[in-house]
Copies of this chain bind each other. A is one copy, B any other.
Amino acid sequence: MDKPYRPQLSNAARPATFTVPAVDEHGAEVPTAIAGEHPLTLYVDKREIVTLMTLGGAPEALAIGYLRNQRLVQELEDIVSVQVDWETDAVAVTTRDGLGAQEQRMAKRTVTTGCGQGTVFGDLMEEIDGIRLRDDVILTRDTLYALLDNVRRHDTIYKQSGAIHGCALARGSEILYFVEDVGRHNAVDAIAGLMWLDRVEGSDKIFYTTGRLTSEMVIKSAQMGIPFLVSRSGLTKMGHDVAQRIGMTMFGRATNKHYLLFTGAQRFRP
Contacts and interface: CB of A to CB of B under 8 A. Distances in A.
A208 to B, nearest CB: 16
A266 interface: no
A38 B154 CA distance: 34
B163 A212 contact: yes
Main secondary structure of the interface of A (DSSP, over half): mixed
B52 A117 contact: yes
Interface in A20-59: 20-25, 27, 30, 32, 34-39, 48-54
A33 to B, nearest CB: 9
A172 interface: no
Contacts of A186: 116-117
Name which of A24, A163, A237, A259 has the most chain B CB atoms within 10 A of its CB: A237
A159 B114 CA distance: 26
30 contacts: A18-B237, A21-B262, A22-B260, A22-B261, A34-B236, A34-B237, A35-B235, A35-B237, A37-B214, A37-B215, A37-B237, A37-B238, A37-B239, A38-B237, A51-B112, A52-B118, A111-B113, A113-B117, A114-B114, A114-B115, A115-B115, A115-B185, A116-B182, A116-B186, A117-B183, A118-B118, A162-B253, A163-B236, A182-B212, A182-B236
Number of copies: 2
Contact of A118 (B20, B113, B214): B113
B111 A118 contact: no
Interface residues of A, number: 71
A119 B22 contact: no
A184 interface: yes
Nearest to A116: B183
